[in-house]
């Protein structure tokens, strides 16, 4: 990738796993990277590691709890108070196959963390992304999707999966919603002539904490086949 000096990125879930590696790489290209997450100590450690390695860019941590829409709004306000531009938004944070539970706003956990919070975050920052994008050098929105969206179904009468709960179905629904949002937003931005691109990315099998909720047999099988699965 070319150098990205004086450009600003936000990476949700950037304290570990794919988010950390993404933030680390963007900083090495000269970007000012905002790591958004809900683990303050983990965030401080991630920032320290990145800043010790990178002589080009820099990283900082700002708290956000993506299971709370109020927290998302507070994060956006804190970012706006800095009067920074925004060139890249990477909606990376997510959860997978957790037992049934609700957020403080009453939403199903996967649906809120994987989709609703990122939908809100993107829309609250969209004007900054439009302003920062230039012809030939667009601003970018990256939504971390999953091939499981092909198995997803969206029931508008039961988005919170109250009738029958399945963690697999809830996860797939949240990723399908994110993909549909990606396509719709890209269409709207193209129609408006804005220099902002929106992409959904399936990272494939990556050995991160996201797989901690696999059922017992799958956990047992994970180690012996990791060298094959997790390239």
Nearest to 6 by CA among 31, 27, 35: 31
What pLDDT, in 10s, does the model give residues 141-172?
999 998 787 777 888 887 777 778 888 888 98
CA R_g for the chain = 18
Which band of pLDDT confidence, cut at 50, 70 and 90, is reported for residue 223? low
Choice among 150, 171, 183, 211 that is catalytic: 171
d(Cα 149, Cα 167) in Å, to the nearest integer?
13
> What DSSP character marks residue 68?
-
Residues 149 and 178: their CA atoms lie apart, in Å, by 9
For 68-102, the pLDDT digits (tens) are: 999 999 999 999 999 999 999 999 999 887 888 89
Give the predicted TM-score (pTM) of the model. 0.86
Contact (CB, 8 A) for 68 and 118: no
Taking residues 183-200, report their average pLDDT.
97
CA angle 181, 186, 191 (to 5 degrees): 130
pLDDT recorded at residue 1: 84
Catalytic residue at 171?
A: yes
Output the pLDDT for position 204. Answer: 74
């Amino acid at each position: 990738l070319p150098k990205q000096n004086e450009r600003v990125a936000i990476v949700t879930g950037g304290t570990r796993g794919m988010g950390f590696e993404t933030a680390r790489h963007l900083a090495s290209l000269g970007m000012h990277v905002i790591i958004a997450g809900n683990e303050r100590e983990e965030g401080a450690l991630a920032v320290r590691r990145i800043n010790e390695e990178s002589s080009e860019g820099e990283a900082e941590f700002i708290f956000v709890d993506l299971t709370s829409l109020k927290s998302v709004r507070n994060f956006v306000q804190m970012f706006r108070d800095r009067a920074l531009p925004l060139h890249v938004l990477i909606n990376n944070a997510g959860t997978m196959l957790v037992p049934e539970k609700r957020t403080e706003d009453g939403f199903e956990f996967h649906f809120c963390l994987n989709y609703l919070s990122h939908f809100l975050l993107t829309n609250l920052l969209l004007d900054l992304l439009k302003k920062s994008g230039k012809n030939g050098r667009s601003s970018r929105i990256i939504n971390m999707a999953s091939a499981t969206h092909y198995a997803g179904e969206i029931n508008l009468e039961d988005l919170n999966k109250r009738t029958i709960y399945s963690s697999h179905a809830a996860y797939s629904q949240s990723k399908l919603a994110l993909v549909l949002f990606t396509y719709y937003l890209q269409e709207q931005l193209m129609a408006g002539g804005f220099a902002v691109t929106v992409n959904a990315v399936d990272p494939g099998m990556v050995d991160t904490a996201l797989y901690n909720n696999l059922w017992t047999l799958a956990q047992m099988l994970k180690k012996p086949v990791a060298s094959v699965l997790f390239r």
